[in-house]
Structure 1
Amino acid sequence: MTTLSDAWDWLTDAAHWAGDDGIGHRLLQHLVLTAVCLVISCAVALPVALVLGHLGRGGALAVNISNVGRAVPTFAVLVLLLLTPVGRWGEGPTVVALVLFAVPPLLTNAYVGMREVDRSVVRAARGMGMTGRQMLFRVELPLSLPLLLNGVRIAAVQLVATATIAALAGGGGLGRIITAGFNLASTPQVVAGAILVAAFALVVEGVFELVERLGPAWARGAR
């Protein structure tokens, strides 16, 4: 318990919360990096998943290709990107590596959600004279939204946990607290950094759960 108590003492020391290397600044960097990567991932994965799910063709191939990202360690992708011209773009390698990591759950959940929409409802919408665009946005998307949002939640939590690798490429975020602890041979600081990352991930999970509970019925999967 000594290590945990020392980590708690480190966390509650006001000096560790102030300045550019303080917890507050590192937490803000972590939040911004996570949000940017999540927005980019959604912009890449969701349109593809929705279109392929609506057409019912090519989705399985796209999901399988995106899932290759799960088999390749994000750290390995980051190291390879640092050796390419992308490595000159500051946070570029980290952003690309994290986006590749977040795309699979977004693409898979959105595509599966689209394909699980009751086909009789789709046929009824078509029989009413709806165009493909109207069926996509008025019927299929609302009914697939619960699974789609679940994919966003999974991706967000995974990004929070994995964004610590930014420190290995010289970036910011809570990972800098952990790497600094290793450099100083300070086990309490390393543990404190890990606690911060875990707590942040739990907070993000809780926010999504709260939004789901307070959201409209169709966003919670009610029909």
Structure 2
Amino acid sequence: MNIFADALAWIFSPERLTGSLPLPEAILQHLAFTFFSVVIAAVIAVPVGWLIGHTGRGREIAVFLSGAARALPALGLVTLLVMLIGVTLKTEAAIVAFVLLAIPSILAGAYAGIEAIDRSVIDAGRAMGMTEWQILFKIEVPLGLSLLIGGFRSATLQVVATVTIAAYVGLGGLGFFMIQGINTRDFPEVLGASIIVVALALVLDGIFALLARFAVPRTDGPRVRLTASTRTPVVVADSFT
């Protein structure tokens, strides 16, 4: 238990506010890498996932590419990209690597959310004269929001844990203290930085869990209910306004 007490003492030591990399600055760097990587991955993966889910085309290719991206070794990928792009652009190289790691989960959440929707709901929307764009944004996107948030949740947790390797190419973050602690055999420093990474992951996980819990379809889309006698879908027409 002494090492945990020493790790906590390291975290809350006034010395963490000074030095070449103060702890609050390292935390902000860590979160910045995570945020920008997930946002860029979302810009790429969400539209593609919606297109795949709506049209039903390209799913096999997406699954293959997602699986291949998941199999990439993060540290090796960051090092390779830094070597290819150049040391002067190592920040961009690291973000590219983290984006590639985040895309599979977000892509899967985007198209799985739409694929999970009962086809009778979509058919009811078409029967009411809705266009394909209206079906996508008024039915499929709202009803698939929960699984999409799950994809964001998985991607964010993976990236926030992986960003620690950015320190291997001199980009700071909480991984800086882990590498420094390993080199100096300061294990409370290594454990203290690890505890903070775990705490960040738990906080982010809790935020996404709340978002998923309260994710509900928009009220301006078609409402579909089942009649008690026939158990067949009935569309409430006035919900399209």
CA contact (8 A) 2:145 2:215 kept: no
Percent identity of the aligned residues?
40
Give the root-mean-square deviation of aligned CA atoms.
Answer: 1.7
State the match for 1:12 in structure 2.
Answer: 12
Pairing 1:172–2:172 present = yes
Q: Which runs of 5+ in 2 are unaligned?
A: 219-223, 225-241
State the match for 2:23 in structure 1.
Answer: 23
- TM-aligned CA deviation for residue 2 of structure 1: 2.1
State the match for 1:36 in structure 2.
Answer: 36
Deviation by residue 1:4-63 (Cα, 9 ceiling, x = unmatched): 121121112112134551111100111111100010010011100001111111122112
Matches of 2:185 and 2:21 in 1, distance apart? 17
State the match for 1:59 in structure 2.
Answer: 59
Misfit runs of 4+, over 6 Å? none
Larger Rg: 2
State the match for 2:69 in structure 1.
Answer: 69
State the match for 2:163 in structure 1.
Answer: 163
State the match for 1:85 in structure 2.
Answer: 85
Matches of 1:173 and 1:151 in 2, distance apart? 24
Question: Aligned AA for 1:81?
Answer: L
- TM-aligned CA deviation for residue 85 of structure 1: 2.2
- TM-aligned CA deviation for residue 159 of structure 1: 1.0
- TM-aligned CA deviation for residue 132 of structure 1: 0.9
Pairing 1:105–2:98 present = no
Q: Which runs of 5+ in 1 are unaligned?
A: none
CA contact (8 A) 1:177 1:193 kept: yes
Matches of 2:173 and 2:212 in 1, distance apart? 27
**Comparing 85-94 and 157-166, the one that deviates more:** 85-94
State the match for 1:217 in structure 2.
Answer: 216
| Structure 1 residues 49 and 216: CA distance shift in structure 2, 3 A | closer
Deviation by residue 1:131-153 (Cα, 9 ceiling, x = unmatched): 11111000111111110111011
Matches of 1:19 and 1:155 in 2, distance apart? 32
Equivalent position SS for 1:172: coil
- TM-aligned CA deviation for residue 216 of structure 1: 4.8
CA contact (8 A) 1:106 1:151 kept: yes
Question: Aligned AA for 1:29?
Answer: Q
State the match for 1:142 in structure 2.
Answer: 142
**Greater helix proportion:** 1
Question: Aligned AA for 1:101?
Answer: L
Question: Aligned AA for 1:66?
Answer: S
State the match for 2:190 in structure 1.
Answer: 190
State the match for 1:47 in structure 2.
Answer: 47
Question: Aligned AA for 2:50?
Answer: L
Matches of 1:132 and 1:87 in 2, distance apart? 46
| Structure 1 residues 146 and 21: CA distance shift in structure 2, 3 A | same
CA contact (8 A) 2:82 2:90 kept: no
CA contact (8 A) 1:69 1:101 kept: yes
Question: Aligned AA for 1:218?
Answer: P
CA contact (8 A) 1:18 1:24 kept: no
| Structure 1 residues 188 and 205: CA distance shift in structure 2, 3 A | same
Equivalent position SS for 1:72: coil
| Structure 1 residues 86 and 145: CA distance shift in structure 2, 3 A | farther
TM-score w.r.t. length of structure 1: 0.92
Equivalent position SS for 2:90: coil
Equivalent position SS for 1:16: helix
Map of 1:99-138 to 2, 5 A cutoff?
Answer: 99-138=99-138
Question: Aligned AA for 1:92?
Answer: E
Matches of 1:62 and 1:133 in 2, distance apart? 22
Deviation by residue 1:163-183 (Cα, 9 ceiling, x = unmatched): 101101111211111111122
